[in-house]
Amino acid sequence: MSQFNIHSIQSAPAGAQALLQGSLKKYGFIPNLHGGLAEAPVALEAYIELTALFDRSSLSPTERQVVLLAVSAENHCTYCVAAHSTIAKHMVKADPAVVDAIRNLQPLPDPKLDALANFTRNVVKNRGVVRGQAFDKFISAGYSRAQVLEVVLGVTFKTLSNYSNHLIDTPLDSAFQAEAWEVPGQCASNRCASRDEPG
């Protein structure tokens, strides 16, 4: 059982109430992730600000979703994989085959996006120590050294939500339910003992 509340605007600490108002205005509802992060207003503010900064990167909307999905799948975050699958397919209009490949831990049908997803996974798995062939493949696919650091920004921002969701045990919003996800080869519950979750 979670030790955290999913806050509404009314129940949230004072420092988070205006931030949740902004979430409601932007999305039409308050994502449970935001309601959970509201327990620590500074964490919610950081998440919102990092989201805005990553959106200003030179990566395209589809590329940004590839990064966020790859991080979330690598971190076994069922909440964020579902959320970003929804955003990628229905808001960004990314190729569903690209999204499904990341969800299924398979090679992406687009070679450049596959290089992006693989580099992102390597950053997560190797704690940023990505050199040699793994680094060179990313650059040779057409990405810049600036985009190496933009991927790190995406990993940073998504790790905040992935880890928070694991700890909060964030319930999946109905808006993301159609894209509910489980780690391939693991149990069907987002309450696995190995803890896949959120974010």
**Res. 1 pLDDT band, cuts 50 70 90:** low
The fold adopted by the segment(s) 7-56 is 1.20.5
Looking at the structure, give the CATH architecture of the domain made up of residues 58-199.
Up-down Bundle (1.20)
- In this structure, how many other beta carbons lie within 10 angstroms of the beta carbon of residue 120? 27
Question: Among candidates 101, 88, 78, which has minimal Cα distance to 177?
Answer: 78
> Residue 186: helix, strand or coil by DSSP?
coil
Say if residues 16 and 41 touch (Cβ distance below 8 Å): yes
- The 10s digit of each residue's pLDDT in 133-146 is 889 999 999 999 99
Q: In this predicted structure, what is the pLDDT of residue 188?
A: 45
Q: In this predicted structure, what is the pLDDT of residue 187?
A: 52
> Residue 52: helix, strand or coil by DSSP?
helix
- The 10s digit of each residue's pLDDT in 104-160 is 999 999 999 999 999 999 999 999 889 888 899 999 999 999 999 999 999 999 999
Say if residues 89 and 108 touch (Cβ distance below 8 Å): no
Residue 164 has pLDDT above 50, yes or no: yes
Residue type, 40: A
The residues of the chain that CATH labels 1.20.1290.10 are: 58-199
Question: Among candidates 129, 107, 131, 104, which has minimal Cα distance to 118?
Answer: 107
Say if residues 137 and 115 touch (Cβ distance below 8 Å): yes
- Residue 57: C-alpha distances to residues 33, 110, 113, 158, 199 (Å): 23, 21, 16, 15, 21
The residues of the chain that CATH labels 1.20.5 are: 7-56
Q: What is the 3-state secondary structure (H, E, C) of 14-80?
A: HHHHHHHHHHHHHHCCCCHHHHHHCCCHHHHHHHHHHHHHHHCCCCCHHHHHHHHHHHHHHCCCHHH
Cα(173)–Cα(178) distance, rounded to whole angstroms? 10
Q: In this predicted structure, what is the pLDDT of residue 132?
A: 87
Cα(22)–Cα(13) distance, rounded to whole angstroms? 15
Say if residues 181 and 85 touch (Cβ distance below 8 Å): yes
- The 10s digit of each residue's pLDDT in 19-61 is 999 999 999 999 999 999 999 999 999 999 999 999 999 999 9
> Residue 38: helix, strand or coil by DSSP?
coil
Structure tokens of 156? 């940073």
